[in-house]
């Protein structure tokens, strides 16, 4: 990167930001001087209450927009509302997610975790790209340790998060940054102390996997929200286009880009052999 990125004077859109990590990212960015924050979420009451509190502290720099990330019309309308209000979007954080593999939920979860994220990303690329009159920008797509590991009790969720990782790296490859001025960065958080981790036993494929959940909890602790926020701020300020970052176990964020690229390059060579 030519220069270190800073939140100051940036216009930011965050999905799934009424509570949990999305809300924590929004507040952290405002604390460091963000110009405007658009909080998108399906939970109207929580979102409006959160934005009201933000505006008391940060001089009316936040707006709330109801958005169901599983619905293309909502995505289109929300993105346009933010553009009309802010005139420019500098940072998109695709944070909205559903962790559920049960039969009644997995299609909706995939729409939110994967298709909605793709739709927001491509709209942001079209708006930001310098080779088509934009000013560049940053897109952070939230994958997961479930996109890196084989968790048999959440194969659908893990599959959607693996897709996010591959999509983001594929999009960012080659001359993408040189042509567009857009960084696409992926964050893979481990289990974090948000509502997403509550009642997990009711959202897995089969109850026989509960022993694996217990063993996962023994190996991988549930990290604090501040730990995940610190990871986000570091990758925003220092991350190169195409980089992948791991935030887990309340440890400092780790960049995985070199390891993942080495693995994928080896596989690509095999496909061409």
- Catalytic residues, by residue number, are 157
Pairing of strands 182-189, 244-247: parallel
Torsion angle defined by CA atoms of residues 180, 87, 74 and 229, in that order, rounded to the nearest 10 degrees: 70
The candidate with the shortest Cα–Cα distance to 151, out of 140, 141, 162, 142, is 162
Residue 37: its H or E element? strand 36-41
Q: Which token pair is 228? A: 């995940």
Q: Which token pair is 235? A: 């990758």
Distance set, CA 39 to CA 16, 90, 134, 206, 234 (Å): 7, 14, 22, 34, 21
Residues forming a β-bridge with 14: 39, 93
């Amino acid at each position: 990167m030519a220069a270190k990125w800073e939140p100051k004077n940036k216009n930011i859109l965050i999905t799934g930001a009424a509570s949990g990590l999305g809300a924590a990212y929004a507040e952290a960015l405002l604390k460091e001087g963000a110009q405007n924050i658009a909080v998108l979420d399906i939970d109207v009451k929580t979102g409006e209450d959160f934005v009201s509190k933000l505006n008391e502290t940060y001089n009316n720099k936040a707006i709330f927009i109801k958005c169901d990330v599983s619905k293309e019309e909502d995505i289109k309308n929300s993105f346009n509302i933010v553009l009309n209000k802010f005139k420019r979007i500098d940072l998109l954080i695709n944070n909205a997610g559903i962790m559920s593999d049960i039969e009644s939920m997995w299609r909706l979860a995939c729409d939110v975790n994967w298709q909605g994220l793709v739709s927001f990303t491509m709209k942001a690329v079209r708006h930001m790209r310098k080779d088509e009159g934009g000013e560049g920008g940053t897109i952070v797509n939230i994958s997961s340790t479930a996109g890196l590991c084989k968790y048999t009790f959440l194969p659908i969720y893990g599959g959607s998060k693996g897709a996010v990782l591959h999509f983001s790296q594929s999009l960012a490859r080659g001359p993408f940054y040189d042509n567009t001025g857009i960084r696409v960065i992926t964050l893979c958080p481990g289990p974090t102390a948000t509502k997403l981790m509550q009642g997990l036993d009711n959202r897995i494929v089969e109850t026989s996997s509960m022993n694996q959940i217990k063993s996962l909890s023994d190996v991988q602790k549930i990290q604090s929200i501040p730990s995940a926020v610190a990871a986000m701020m570091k990758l925003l300020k220092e991350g190169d286009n195409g980089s992948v970052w791991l935030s887990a176990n309340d440890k400092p964020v780790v960049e995985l880009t070199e390891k993942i690229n080495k693995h994928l390059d080896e596989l690509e060579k095999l496909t061409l052999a």
